[in-house]
Structure 1
């Protein structure tokens, strides 16, 4: 099955448990339609670059999935209909990276950039 990565942004006035409940809800939607969630991360409340629906912050969640396209389309459809979800981004990838995402790594653990001149 194809591999996907999803980023969900939920409203800022949700509690942490409600935001993590959204992750579980969309994980069950994927599993009910023949897919599976390989890994999920809750990134917490982050400030956005611009307002979305009059919100400056949002709860960010990251999902790595192995699912057929029909399951992904159903999850995206339900996410767009859900009142608490502001944005969904889905990317098809060739392989999942091992370990935590760049958002969860500490700054000193990340790859060093080249120096500017």
Structure 2
């Protein structure tokens, strides 16, 4: 199984309940493609580098997942269909990209 980073930006105007509904949907979608969640970093609302639609902020979720095969397109296409998802980025994690501490 390969390790991937899944970065999502959600609508910044979501309530805590709506964010939890989106998280549950994301985890279900990941299980449907055979991926398992290793870690979730919930960064909350942050300012965007550029405007997306009418929003200058976004609700950031960063998942570390393990999946076999090549799940990038399956994951991204299923998550982009959600109304509250603004951006989806799936990147294969590589050990050589990690910074080494001296």
Query: One fold, TM greater than 0.5?
Result: yes
Aligned match of 2:20: 20
Where does 1:98-109 land on structure 2 (aligned, <5 Å)? none
Structure 2: gaps spanning 5 or more residues: 96-100
Aligned match of 2:68: 68
Q: Which has the higher strand share?
A: 2
Structure 1: gaps spanning 5 or more residues: 96-110, 112-117
Cα RMSD of the aligned pairs, angstroms, is 1.8
Partners of 1:69 and 1:51 in 2: CA distance:
34
Higher RCO structure, 1 or 2 (CA under 8 Å, sep 6+):
2
Deviant stretches of 4+, over 6 Å: none
- TM-score, with length taken from structure 1: 0.73
Look at both structures and tell me which one has the larger radius of gyration over its CA atoms: 1
Counterpart contact for 1:30–1:71, Cα < 8 Å: no
- TM-score, with length taken from structure 2: 0.82
Aligned match of 1:57: 57
Counterpart contact for 2:8–2:62, Cα < 8 Å: yes
